[in-house]
Amino acid sequence: MRKKLIVANWKMNPETPKRAKLLFLAIKRGLKKIQNLKIIICPPFPYLSIIKAQLSPIKLGAQNCFWEEKGAFTGEVSPKMLKKLGVEYVILGHSERRKILGEMDIMINKKVKLALKMRLKVILCVGETKIERKEGKTFKVLQNQLKNCLKEIEKKDFKNLILAYEPVWAIGTGNFCRPEDAKNVLLFLKRKFENLPILYGGSVNAKNAKDYIEVGFDGVLVGSASLKSKEFLKILKNLNS
Ligand code: PGA
């Protein structure tokens, strides 16, 4: 059986490299008894190299990358630079980037294409807003996001693709999507992409993480609960059994 994937998205945290290292080491120390999971930590760019030095058995992920290989793109980071730092995974299409930085499907599609070409494993986030959900548009929204973001992606590259269902209204709110509701979305996604690992993200914590695995998700994407080593290790322990 495929190992469950646990992705820690640290977002723009913690505030100093020292704290990043301490958080990472606290997680790593607690991993001794965890064998059945694949753990991916996605710190901010400046901390990638700090963590790289002590990586195993954790995998390294980035929270974004650009769609060009090199050149005059102030402030951007290329997939190749990430690869050189030992990064294996990249989160793309996160709703915070869509909402705050105006990332559109067409941009995300370009990023997915280049990241896959550079052999990064892409964790592509999709999800509906509260209003879209209320209006019954969840499946339509997801369908469009997937169609646009995966445009012209070759079937052979699908092996490096992971989908994350992240309802926007559930992210950072404590208001998680009920596992039985998330399951309906999971079934919808599995019908379209039966071989892809599909994660759930949005207010995952130690109490609810296992419920998502029990309804069939292949893992979870954890934001704020991944910043507290005790809580994160509790999630891992609950999912390892
Ligand atoms: P959260 O974030 O766990 O804090 O809701 C999840 C995410 O943004 O992926």
Average pLDDT, rounded, for the chain: 96
Confidence bin at 241 (pLDDT 50/70/90)? confident
* pLDDT at residue number 95: 98
Confidence bin at 53 (pLDDT 50/70/90)? confident
First to last CA, the chain: 14
* pLDDT at residue number 107: 98
What is d(CA 178, CA 182) in angstroms, rounded to the nearest whole number? 6
* CB distance 40 to ligand 1 below 6 Å: no
Peptide bond connecting 57 to the previous residue in cis, omega within 30 degrees of 0: yes
Neighbour count for residue 61 (Cβ, 10 Å): 24
Best mutation site among 42, 100, 200, 203 for ligand 1 pocket (most ligand atoms within 8 Å of CB): 203
* pLDDT at residue number 224: 98
Instruction: Compute the distance from residue 212 Cα to the ligand 1 centre, in Å.
Output: 14
* CB distance 166 to ligand 1 below 6 Å: yes
Confidence bin at 56 (pLDDT 50/70/90)? confident
Please indicate whether residue 166 is annotated as part of the active site. Answer: yes
Report the DSSP beta bridge partners of residue 164.
125, 199
pLDDT at 158 over 90: yes
Of the candidates 113, 95, 115, the one whose C-alpha atom is nearest the C-alpha of residue 103 is 95
Confidence bin at 33 (pLDDT 50/70/90)? confident
- Under 8 Å CB-to-CB from 35, ≥6 apart: which residues? 240
Ligand 1 atom with the shortest distance to the CA of 7: 9
* pLDDT at residue number 112: 98
What is d(CA 3, CA 217) in angstroms, rounded to the nearest whole number? 11
Of the candidates 127, 65, 64, the one whose C-alpha atom is nearest the C-alpha of residue 95 is 127
* % of the chain at pLDDT higher than 70: 100
pLDDT per residue as tens digits for the range 112-140: 999 999 999 999 999 999 999 999 999 99
* CB distance 109 to ligand 1 below 6 Å: no
Q: What is the DSSP string of 69-101?
A: SSSS-TT---HHHHHHTT--EEEES-HHHHHHS
Please indicate whether residue 152 is annotated as part of the active site. Answer: no
What is d(CA 200, CA 125) in angstroms, rounded to the nearest whole number? 9
The model's pTM is 0.97
What is d(CA 229, CA 84) in angstroms, rounded to the nearest whole number? 27
* pLDDT at residue number 54: 75
What is d(CA 168, CA 140) in angstroms, rounded to the nearest whole number? 15
Of the candidates 24, 98, 93, the one whose C-alpha atom is nearest the C-alpha of residue 64 is 93
Q: Which of 76, 94, 128, 214 is catalytic?
A: 94
pLDDT at 1 over 90: no
| pLDDT, mean of residues 52-60 | 84
| pLDDT, mean of residues 202-208 | 98
pLDDT at 57 over 90: no
DSSP 16: S
In this structure, which residue's CA is closest to atom 2 in ligand 1? 223
pLDDT at 34 over 90: no
What is d(CA 219, CA 69) in angstroms, rounded to the nearest whole number? 30
